[in-house]
Chains A and B, each alone.
Chain A
């Protein structure tokens, strides 16, 4: 059996574990589900304006031909690292903006098949990295810290490794 067949068990298994532990701990599972879904709905509506702003910005960037030009300029460097040029724009925006990354990911998948090498690398990158700068700003914002020392260096190392290993892991595992 290949890996892809195993992955079809993950979601059903997780749902089963959650529901069973809910019953065991006598959680009012239906009402808690509704409550949690409602919270997520609020979060979703909260990001919609940013999504509209960034979808427009990235949509126009693509329509103008500038996105293809940028990808073209950067692709020799990307190829050296074994990184698909189509997924590059996502790597550029991923650490900066969550909504921007979402908009870019959608744009990448409209251009290449999700099962192509570039489509898979973009998917792995989307799943395996975070909006670094936002997180750093929010967390230090809660403290008096203004000198972040090597925080950014460490976080960006993590991001860059995520980009490189998204391509390597797709090659290796898929």
Chain B
């Protein structure tokens, strides 16, 4: 997929730029954008490391586990039929907690483990289940992961500061509202489809 985005953007730019007489700007940007990329990297890496360090302390102090514990009763609604004492259920709670704290590094391996456990749960529920078909719990879990519920919208705030925003974190309430609603819409679609398909089966 990315090869088409990368190649497509470059070729379209060159064709469009040459037709509309933008060769000079094209050349300049070809030589300069990579410098901008390194500058952007330097601008962001400090904040990434700072929060990475803080969140590692949070994890070691058990804050991820505490947050995961808070999610336990809530997720019963999202994963009907999944045993709350199963390994999969625990991993799902930990994965979401790590995501909320912005611990992407820690969240992904936990999430992959959760997917593996969901495969096992799926076979437990129905020994003849086809393992090439996504189970209903997997779909809900992936929606949870593609929606972004973050405590600190760090990257956005850092770049806002770079470009002279007066109060870079003032987007916080809007970010929370937007991500919660977006997640709710995604979950609603997943759960409705799940319910309809189960009725058919």
Contact = CB atoms under 8 A, between A and B. Distances in A.
Interface of A: 3-4, 7-8, 10-11, 14-15, 17-19, 21-22, 24-25, 27, 29, 32-41, 43-44, 48, 51-66, 69, 93, 96-97, 100, 102-103, 105-106, 109-110, 113-115, 119-120, 123-133, 135-136, 138-140, 142-151, 153-155, 157-159, 161-162, 165-166, 169-170, 172-174
A62 B30 CA distance: 11
Given A64-B17, A128-B179, 18 more contacts: A4-B167, A4-B170, A10-B172, A27-B60, A37-B49, A43-B52, A51-B41, A63-B25, A106-B36, A127-B171, A128-B148, A138-B108, A139-B145, A144-B132, A150-B139, A154-B189, A161-B182, A161-B186
Contacts of A97: 2, 5
Interface in B19-57: 20, 22, 25-26, 28-30, 32-34, 36-38, 40-41, 44-45, 48-57
Contact of B29 (A35, A37, A63, A69): A63
A126 B32 contact: no
B81 interface: no
Size band of the interface chain B makes with A = 35 or more
A98 to B, nearest CB: 10
B61 interface: yes
Given A123-B171, A130-B146, A114 B165 contact: yes
B174 A162 contact: no
List the 8 shortest-distance A-B pairs measured between CB atoms, nearest first: A36-B56, A158-B186, A40-B52, A127-B153, A64-B17, A59-B33, A55-B37, A63-B29
B169 interface: yes
A51 B37 contact: yes
Contacts of B183: 158
Given A44-B49, A154-B193, A158-B146, A124 B175 contact: yes
Prevailing SS type, chain B contact patch? helix
A165 to B, nearest CB: 4
Contact of A96 (B5, B17, B143, B173): B5
Interface string B132-146: 111000110111011
Nearest to A69: B16
B70 interface: no
